[in-house]
Structures are given as C-alpha cells and as structure tokens.
Chain A
Amino acid sequence: MNKGITIFRILKSKRFNHYIKDISAVTGSLILIIMLIGAIFAPAIAPQNPYDMETLYLADSLVPPIWMEGGKAPFILGTDDQGRDIFSTILYGCRTSFTVGFSVILIAGFIGVTIGILSGFYRGLLETVTMRLADAIFSFSTTLIAMLFLGVLKSHGVGTVILAIVITDWVRYARTMRGSVLGVKEEDYISAARAIGANDLRIMIKYILPNAIPPILVVAAVDFGAAVMLEATLSFLGVGVPINKPSLGMMVSIGKNYIYAGKWWLVVFPGIALILIVFGINLLADWLREEFNPKMTKGKAG
C-alpha cells in the first residue's frame, strides 16, 4: 500500500468524517495550527526581535496599537515599557509556551506511561508505592508543587520550568495507563498471546499499549493546555522563565503595572494569545473525549 492510498483512506474514514463535521474540533485545531506556525516562524514573521537589545528604542515605549491615536507603523499591537513590539513578543512567547507544552507531554507522558503500564502489569509493591505517591501529589496539587520546587531552586530557565512540571505531571498518565492495563489484563487475547509464547515486554507493548492510546491522547491534550497555563502562571509569579526569555505570563505580569494608566494592550493581547492556545487545545480535547468514549454520544453527556 503506498502513501497516497493511506491518506485517502484516512480522509474517507468514519473518524475523519466525524472530525470534519465537528465545528469546535476544527476551530480548535485551526487556532492551534495558526499559533504554531506563528511560533515556529517567529523570527521571519516578527517585525522586531524583542530580545535583541540593539533593536529596542526606549523612545518607542508604550506605543498604543496601530489603529489608535499615536500608533506607529511597525508596532501593530503597540509596545511595552521597554519598547518591545507586543506582536513580536507574543510570537516569541508562544514559542516558549509550545516548547514547554510539547516537552511536558512527551517527557511526562513517557515516564507516566512506563510507570503506569509496569505498575498495572506487575501490581505488588511498585503499584502501591506509585499510586499512593500519585494520591499525595494529586491532593497537594501539581501547581503548588511546581511553584515550591521552582521557589527553592536557584537557577531558572525553560528547562527547569519543564522539569518542575514533569516531576508531578507524569502522575496523570500513570493513573490512566494503569487503569487501562487493569481493564484488559484479564482478557482472553492476553492469555492467548501468552500461550503462543509472547514474553511480558511483547504483551505490554503489542497488546496492552494500543488499547490505552485513546485515553492517553485525551490526557495528553488536556495536559498540554494545563502545562501551557502553568508555565504562564509560574512566569507571572516570577518563579518561571528568567526575565530575558519571552513568556506570555511574564508579559501579563509586566503589563499589570500599567493597567491603571490605561495601557490595556500590554495585558490584553498576550492574554488573548494564551487563551487561544488553551481554548484551542481544550476544544480538541473535548472532541477526543467524546470520539473515543463509546458510552457518551454527542450532545447528551460529558
């Protein structure tokens, strides 16, 4: 089967048909794709590199958006107190958001799925320890742990923010994974696989893992939004990425000092960008949840 036919089959499949008919899912993915393209090609699209000190002029600080009185040519959405173009800074900030989001779901997902599948398959001490740990982390809240972790840590960077989120976030995947493993472990086809001589590793990867992919996808989608929000929150509080790194949360935090002066564009535009990312992924997550959950039909529950 060549590639063209595969794509054709995907386009004709029932699932794709559902997807393309679901307005909110398509809207969600369109928003995300546009934001992602903006973030990836930020250096090419942005009229200014907001973190290159040489291109900044303090004379251009706090310029309002271009359609307002006093707006200036390259600064479509105005500038902040350092003379940084808001539009460019948002593009660069989205880069940080997407980096954190994707890194977290990949790293936390890998750790969580591994721990979850092992603890569900072998049970025993491993399961007890990881699941009680998961309970503790859940009731203590991932946000709080990340905040405290970064608060105690001295050196900050995008990497430490990702680490701070990952150390608690794997729990979501581990729980979901364990649940799916327990659900299928006693099925006949697992015994059949064992009977034809498949070892544990092969059973886990080939027969158990595929079952768990839909719920893990839903968790990953929700988690992506949560990680992006958490990064913004941490940066807003001043414990996230350092000041010389772009971040939507940091932009809002800077803009906060100027809202009483009526300089609303410092807060509103980065806020909108952040909401769009999270809203987009949540729309997609909603669709995934409904699509992969046979118990719920659209418009009824959930």
Chain B
Amino acid sequence: MLTLAGRYATKAQQEAVRVNMGLDKPFYVQYIVFLKNAVKGDFGLSYVSQTPVLELILERLPASIELAMSAMCIALLFGIGLGVLVSLNPRNFISRVIMTGSLFGISLPTFLIGILLIMIFAVYLGVLPTFGRGEVIKITEGWRTGFFTIGGLSHLILPAFTLGMYQLAVLLRLTRGGMLEVLREDYIRTAWAKGLPSKMVIFKHALRNALIPVITMAGLQFGELIAFSIVTESIFQWPGTGNLLLTAVYETDHPVIVAYVMVTSIIILFVNLFVDILYGYINPKIRYE
C-alpha cells in the first residue's frame, strides 16, 4: 500500500488507491478479474511506471531473444563441434585440455564468467565494450536489432559468450559421451568397412544418433538459459527482460513479475514443443504416423 500511494499519502488517498485498484474486493474476486484480463493479454499496470506491463515486456523482449539466440547458437556450434573433435581422439593432449576447460565451464557460475571476461577483454585488453547494446537498427515497429552494425555485434560478443559458456560445456560433454558410445557400435564399423568417407561416417551415421540426448538437454536447459540471462543482462546492463525483472523485484512491482513469469512460461512451452518436433527429424523412428 505504501509503495502504491506514496509515503506521505493521507488515509483518504490510500483508500482511493485501494478502491481504484480493486483491492477492497475479496481475494477470489480479484483473482477472477485478474484471470479474465490475463487471458486477453492484459496483465495490468506496473505499480511504478503506471504503463501496461505487457507493453513493457514486449518492448524489451527482442533484446533478450537476440542475446539468448546468440548464446544458444554459440553453445550448439562450439559444444557439438568440440564434442565431436574430442570424441575422435579422446586421449590426445588437445582433447584433455578441452575436457578440463569444459569442467571449468560447468564449475564457473555465470556471473563470474561474465566478470572475468569483462576484466580480460574490457579492462586489460580494452577491445570490447561491456555494457548496453551499442548501435541498433530499427527493423519494424518495436524490433530493433544490433545484428547489422559493428557496434551492435561487438556489444553482443561478451554477453553471448558469458551466457552460452555453461550450455557449451554441458553440450560438449554430452556430445562426447554420446559419440564415444555410438562410435563403438557395429553399424559404424560396417560404415567404415564399406569405405565411406570419414565425414559421412562421423556426421551422418554417428553424430545423428549421438545428437538425441544433446537435443533433449538443449531443450531442457532452455529454462536455465533464461534464468542465467537475468544474471548476464544484469552484469552487462543489457536492456532486456531480465533487467526489467530485476528492477521489478527491487521495487516490488508485482504485475511486472507476474507478466514476466507468464511470458517466459509461454516461451519455454514453445521451445519444448519445437524440440519435440525436432526429434522427429533427427530420429524417424519416433515420428507419428
């Protein structure tokens, strides 16, 4: 109540705010009203800025999606790539270095990775910017991107690597484990015996089968990615939804928190759906007739 009406509001003013926001009605009525509006995409007004919450979130969503997508791409590309590389020569020196590195990737919390990257690349080397998004280009109403400017891309590198590092390490270890198991299978020996080029054996016959747990994990980890994007956005002052949520938490702006939860749940749902569909492409055995 104090936050809403202000510390110096009189009793009458406080009461006016109560009635205005429907807080004088019983809980279940408030809840039903909330549900009715929420279905229509109306999550109410932010306590602090008095603007519709959904607008606040949608305005910042593109920045977050850009960051999350870049991180995911880095994780998939390097994770699977290095995982295959390591599985082919599990005992040589480079593989051991990569595996030890991946253990660090898992052991290092995201916020430390971010700060260490800032210290190395921004403070000591002074080569990359560390906060904000840099130049952005407006594509359509409400969607501005940093993908097409050098400034925008250079702003993206550190946060994307910070966010992708943990996933990268997890996917690398999974790919390695899967590949090592698959490479021992009889059909791989057959493929080699047939004289197929090694590219064909490794990527078509082996990797495709090793990828199933990797894809599952990547889908499952998407929620973690969103959670860590909050941390990353806070370190790099990235103007995305994560930062919005943190501000809302500090200011106890509940409508923003609720709407954030709703929007992220929907995104997570869709990602999981997408992963399920992807299974069908990778593994034709589980396709529905």
Contact = CB atoms under 8 A, between A and B. Distances in A.
Nearest to A282: B107
A141 interface: yes
Nearest to B87: A301
Contacts of A262: 123
Interface residues of A, number: 41
Interface string B100-116: 00011011111110011
Q: Output the residue of B223, B268, B272 with the most chain A CB within 10 A.
A: B223
A239 interface: yes
A68 B255 CA distance: 50
Contact-residue size bin, chain B (C-beta under 8 Å from the other chain): 35 or more
Nearest to A276: B107
B204 interface: no
B278 interface: no
B231 A233 contact: yes
B231 A282 contact: no
Contact of A236 (B111, B224, B254): B111
A293 B130 CA distance: 44
A143 interface: yes
Contact of A140 (B180, B245, B252, B268): B268
Given A233-B110, A302-B177, A141 B226 contact: yes
A144 B227 contact: yes
- 3 A-B pairs with the lowest CB-CB distances in the bound complex, closest first: A141-B223, A151-B249, A144-B227
Interface of A: 138-141, 143-144, 147-148, 151-152, 154, 225, 229, 232-233, 236-239, 249, 252-253, 256, 259-260, 262, 264, 267-268, 271, 274-275, 278-279, 282-283, 286, 299-302
Interface of B: 90-91, 103-104, 106-112, 115-116, 118-119, 123, 177, 180-181, 220, 222-224, 226-228, 230-231, 234-235, 245-246, 248-250, 252, 254, 257, 261, 264-265, 268, 272
